[in-house]
Amino acid sequence: MAADKSYSRNKQHLKLRARIPSARFNFRTVAGGKRIWTSDAGIRILLFIVCVVGCHGYQEQRFAMEPQDQSAIVGSRVTLPCRVENKAGALQWTKDDFGLGTHRNLSGYDRYSMIGSDEEGDFSLDIRDVTLEDDGRYQCQVSGGLNGEPAIRSRYAKLTVLVAPEPPRIIQGAFVEATEGQSLDIECESVGGKPAAEITWLDGNQAVVKKNVKSKLELMADGQRYKTRSVLRLNPSKAYHNQTFTCQAQNTADRAPRMATIHFEVKYVPKVNISFRSGVIDGKIPEGNEARIRCSSESNPPPRAHRWYINNNPVIGDYTDEMIIFNVTRKHNKAEVRCEISNTVGTSSAKVTLNVAYPPIFRNHLHDVEADIGSIVTLSCDVDGQPKPAIRWLLNEPGRIGVKGKSPNLEIVVNKETAGKYICKASVTGYPEIESEATVFIKGAPKIISNRTQIGAEGETVTVECLTESVPKPDFIKWFFEGREISVIQDPNYAILQESLPDGLVKSSLVIKASQSRHFGLYNCSVTNEYGNANAPIMLKPLKTLPLYIILIGVTTGIVVFSSFIILLVVCHRRRRKKSQMNEKPDVTVATGDAYKESDRSSNISDLKLQLPQSDASYDLDYTSSDRSDTKAPVGLPLAGPVPLPNIRLDDFNYNNDYTDPAYHDYGYKTPAGFVYDYPHGYSPPAHLHVHSPPPHARSQQGSLTRSIDTASTLPLSNSNGSQNNTLQRTNKPEESDAINNLGLPSGGEAGPQTPIYAQPNPRPQTAVDPRYSATYGNPYLRNSSIGYGNQVHTAKPAATPAPPPYSAVRNSAPTGNGGPAQATHV
């Protein structure tokens, strides 16, 4: 008999076998009724059971935790776990099957150590500052025990050391020039990555470029790190110009990408854009406008030449980026304008089509149509216009105009209702409507519509007309006189003219040269065409006219009557004008003499401006009348406007040859500056003149003082009859007071006779009359201190020279509006 027992401990199988010899078992019954067996083999069985129980209490060493595969970045720290239960032997770590040692500090490996505690059976391997050399396979091993415990080994743990790649580098550099249309390869490499770096390309918009990218890996000399190369193939275009592409490199050791960039400068042909700058209205160029076309471009390098073409014909002119068509016509419609620009890379162009708007015009005008009844005719309205003209067909029917169509071609079935005048009207928006007309005639026999009675003047050229409607045109027209056909060859006094008129009319004219009485009578006009014949009698009668002499008399009489009427109008106009001028005369005028002395004509008026003393005094002339009140104003100087007068009465009205001036005294004297003349003393008023106020009712509305050749000095103004034209007359014995009063000058007071001014003392020079109002002041020929004024005549022939007019007079003008005195002016 044999017994086996197997144990399994840490995969180590133990088998115990006990062999028991065969024996015979005998059983016997003991007290109590129990049976027991007895044999020598019992002892052997007991020993077997004891052995089995002893073997069951034995325990083997085993791993509670084994190391696993790990990754570590260079410079980091990593721990490989190892925990053993029932450790009986010595424990050590191996790297790539090379033992590192059994002591925890692992002498010889400064960065390696076994950490943990023996009580826990923890012998984990700790590696600090991982380097690339630490990459390998690690194993935890336990040797056999003293009691025969078997040795154990853990699984292999792979430690992978990771290395971040170096920053990538673009072989072509940071800048590259490219030409549009020429392919270019850009290469980027990343060195030292473990694992190998992944390279990604980004365009200028930071979008990932996936097309045309090829990558290549190379193992470095250390056998662990890699070099990665990536090649990007590009077909440069304008879109890449001034853009920056990026090469990114990264691996699992460092997910932060490392980058390198490259900037592109792409040379490309000009990108041309053509547009209208001016002259276009709603997409169309009105005919006659000036059109400016702009040609812009983008290119690298800049353009160096511009060329313009119209319908592939070069445009002559120094045009660059703008071309001007000064006068756009309908010939430019649909014309193609092309702008061509070139640079060192190439040439490109752009074009635009001109859309010209212009008024409608007929290419071919309508023509009259002749047709038989029932036939079909087509009228074509051939119109050119832009935009396309709108067409209307109108038929001028009796009493109304009907619309017959709107297409360019109009088909008509000819009959009496459809025959007539057709009008084609064409219109373009913004332009006047145009029209053309044609008449559809029905063919038939001719019809004569001339007047049956016609008149001509005997002795003159007479024309007899035969007007006929004939469609088609007449084959011939014949003239007959008193039943005999007229032949212009046989009778040179006749001539026949034929003329085609609108609306199917034909006029035949029989011309009679130097007509006589025998040429007047009955004529016959015969018209023939292919559809028939027409005849019409025409009576030619002589014209009865008036005799020539009667006509001449009538014309002459008319001319005389008309001329007389014109003369009468002129005379009436002049009289009315003269009367109007007379009514506008001032109240008092002074008439000059009949002649002037030569010395007066040559006097130097500019002397009036020399050495005049200023005086604050003025003459106040107070005039009153029965029908209105006058105002006073200062007396003026001739040719120099109104001038203030001294505040005294005017007592020196000087009339040549009316009196004898007193002796003249020279008031001049010498000074260091020259000779000075005292004008106030030199021009004193005459001593014999005395002024009295005129009666109030003696005011004349339009009086005049005229010079008389009689011997009288003064003549009083008429007071009784209100004369409009008063005149000064002379008397043989003038009275001073009466003369002054009759002149209408104001006096010094109202009561009693006044003392004449010349008799009053004159203590102050400033009260004297202003010398500018003296006749001798403005005449250099009269300035003589030793000769009296009245006896001096300055002329080559004194006897032949008439006396000059008075040099001073007072004219009373209308009163001023402010109630002031009337203004007196020297003349």
List, for residues 393-417, the tens digit of each pLDDT value. Answer: 999 876 667 788 899 999 999 999 8
Closest CA to 287 of 324, 323, 331: 331
Residue 661 CA to residue 790 CA, distance in Å, equals 6
How does residue 551 score in pLDDT terms, banded at 50, 70 and 90?
Answer: confident
The single-letter code of the amino acid at 314 is P
Q: Are 227 and 191 in contact (CB under 8 A)?
A: yes
At residue 670, the pLDDT reads: 56
| Lowest-confidence pick of 317-321, 488-492, 502-506 | 317-321
List, for residues 149-186, the tens digit of each pLDDT value. Answer: 999 999 999 999 999 999 999 999 999 999 998 999 99
Residue 84 CA to residue 145 CA, distance in Å, equals 13
At residue 199, the pLDDT reads: 94
What is the CATH class of 63-162? Answer: mainly beta
> What is the per-residue burial (b if ≥16 Cβ within 10 Å, else e) of 265-291?
ebbbbbebebebeebbeeebbbbebeb
Q: What is the DSSP string of 101-134?
A: ESSTT-TT-TTEEEES-TTTTB-EEEE-S--GGG
Q: What is the DSSP string of 378-405?
A: EEE-EEEEESPPEEEEEEEETTEEEEEE
Q: Are 820 and 807 in contact (CB under 8 A)?
A: no
**Tokens 């008397």 appear where?**
731
**Tokens 């029989």 appear where?**
510
Q: Is the pLDDT of residue 192 over 80?
A: yes
Residue 465's SS3 state is: strand
Q: Are 391 and 404 in contact (CB under 8 A)?
A: no
At residue 200, the pLDDT reads: 95
| Lowest-confidence pick of 180-189, 197-206, 253-262, 737-746 | 737-746
Closest CA to 508 of 543, 480, 542: 480
Report CA-CA distances (Å) from 799 to 584, 660, 775, 806. Answer: 38, 18, 21, 19
Residue 452 CA to residue 455 CA, distance in Å, equals 10
What does DSSP assign to residue 516?
-
At residue 12, the pLDDT reads: 41
For range 360-376, the mean pLDDT: 93
Q: Is the pLDDT of residue 634 over 60?
A: no
| Alpha carbons within 13 A on the beta-carbon side of 117 | 2
Question: Which tops the pLDDT comparison, 45 or 392?
Answer: 392
List, for residues 95-134, the tens digit of each pLDDT value. Answer: 999 999 999 999 889 999 999 998 999 999 999 999 999 9
Strand segments (E) across 224-312: 226-234, 244-251, 254-278, 285-286, 291-300, 305-310
Q: What share of the chain is helix, strand, coil (3-state, %, to 5)?
A: 10, 40, 50
Greatest CA separation for the chain? 231
* 43 contacts: CB under 8 Å, gap ≥ 6: none
Q: Are 557 and 574 in contact (CB under 8 A)?
A: no
Residue 137 CA to residue 156 CA, distance in Å, equals 6
For range 726-749, the mean pLDDT: 41
Burial of 17: CB neighbours in 10 Å, binned 0-12, 13-18, 19+: exposed
Residue 422 CA to residue 441 CA, distance in Å, equals 11
What is the CATH class of 359-439? Answer: mainly beta
Q: What is the DSSP string of 187-207?
A: EEEEEEEBSPPEEEEE-TTSP
Burial of 315: CB neighbours in 10 Å, binned 0-12, 13-18, 19+: middle
Q: Is the pLDDT of residue 257 over 50?
A: yes
Residue 718's SS3 state is: coil
Please indicate whether the domains covering 268-357 and 447-542 agree at the CATH topology level: yes
For range 786-802, the mean pLDDT: 44
Burial of 133: CB neighbours in 10 Å, binned 0-12, 13-18, 19+: exposed
Whether domain 447-542 has CATH 3.40.50.620: no
How does residue 709 score in pLDDT terms, banded at 50, 70 and 90?
Answer: very low
At residue 46, the pLDDT reads: 53
At residue 503, the pLDDT reads: 83
At residue 16, the pLDDT reads: 42
The single-letter code of the amino acid at 123 is F
Residue 156 CA to residue 95 CA, distance in Å, equals 9
| Stated pTM of the model | 0.45
Q: Is the pLDDT of residue 613 over 90?
A: no
* 552 contacts: CB under 8 Å, gap ≥ 6: none
How does residue 738 score in pLDDT terms, banded at 50, 70 and 90?
Answer: very low
Whether domain 268-357 has CATH 3.10.400.10: no
Q: Are 641 and 693 in contact (CB under 8 A)?
A: no
Q: Are 168 and 260 in contact (CB under 8 A)?
A: yes
| Lowest-confidence pick of 139-148, 281-290, 546-555, 638-647 | 638-647
Q: Are 154 and 62 in contact (CB under 8 A)?
A: no
For range 58-64, the mean pLDDT: 82
For range 626-652, the mean pLDDT: 44
Closest CA to 27 of 38, 18, 17: 38
Domain locations in the chain? Answer: 2-55, 63-162, 169-265, 268-357, 359-439, 447-542, 585-827
Strands 198-202 and 157-162: unpaired
Q: Is the pLDDT of residue 747 over 90?
A: no
- Helix H or strand E encompassing 327: none
248 sits in the region (left: phi over 0; alpha: psi -120 to 50; else beta) called beta
Q: What angle do CA 397, 402, 404 make, to 5 degrees?
A: 115
Q: Return the number of other C-beta atoms located less than 10 Å from residue 107's C-beta.
A: 11
Residue 812 CA to residue 809 CA, distance in Å, equals 10
Strand segments (E) across 390-531: 390-397, 400-405, 409-413, 420-427, 434-442, 447-448, 453-456, 462-469, 476-481, 484-485, 494-501, 505-512, 521-529
Question: Which tops the pLDDT comparison, 465 or 786?
Answer: 465
At residue 74, the pLDDT reads: 93
How does residue 782 score in pLDDT terms, banded at 50, 70 and 90?
Answer: low
Residue 733 CA to residue 726 CA, distance in Å, equals 21
Closest CA to 635 of 773, 768, 743, 740: 773
Question: Which tops the pLDDT comparison, 733 or 533?
Answer: 533
List, for residues 749-779, the tens digit of each pLDDT value. Answer: 444 444 444 444 444 444 445 555 555 555 5
Q: Are 176 and 184 in contact (CB under 8 A)?
A: yes
How does residue 818 score in pLDDT terms, banded at 50, 70 and 90?
Answer: very low
For range 368-378, the mean pLDDT: 93
Percent of the chain having pLDDT more than 70? 63
At residue 440, the pLDDT reads: 93
Q: What is the DSSP string of 652-694?
A: ----TTTS-PPPP---EEEETTEEEE-HHHHTPPPTT----PP
The single-letter code of the amino acid at 189 is E
Q: Are 537 and 451 in contact (CB under 8 A)?
A: no
Q: Is the pLDDT of residue 306 over 50?
A: yes
Q: Return the number of other C-beta atoms located less than 10 Å from residue 454's C-beta.
A: 17
Domain 169-265: assigned CATH number: 2.60.40.10
Report CA-CA distances (Å) from 355 to 289, 430, 491. Answer: 12, 15, 67
3-state secondary structure 571-605: HHHHHHHHHHHHHCCCCEEECCCCCCCHHHHCCCH
The single-letter code of the amino acid at 208 is V
For range 320-334, the mean pLDDT: 92
Q: Kindly report the length of the chain.
A: 827
Q: What mean pLDDT value characterizes the chain? A: 75
**Tokens at 816, concatenated:** 């001023």
Residue 605 CA to residue 78 CA, distance in Å, equals 135
**Tokens at 812, concatenated:** 């009373």
What does DSSP assign to residue 326?
S
CA-atom Rg of the chain in angstroms: 74
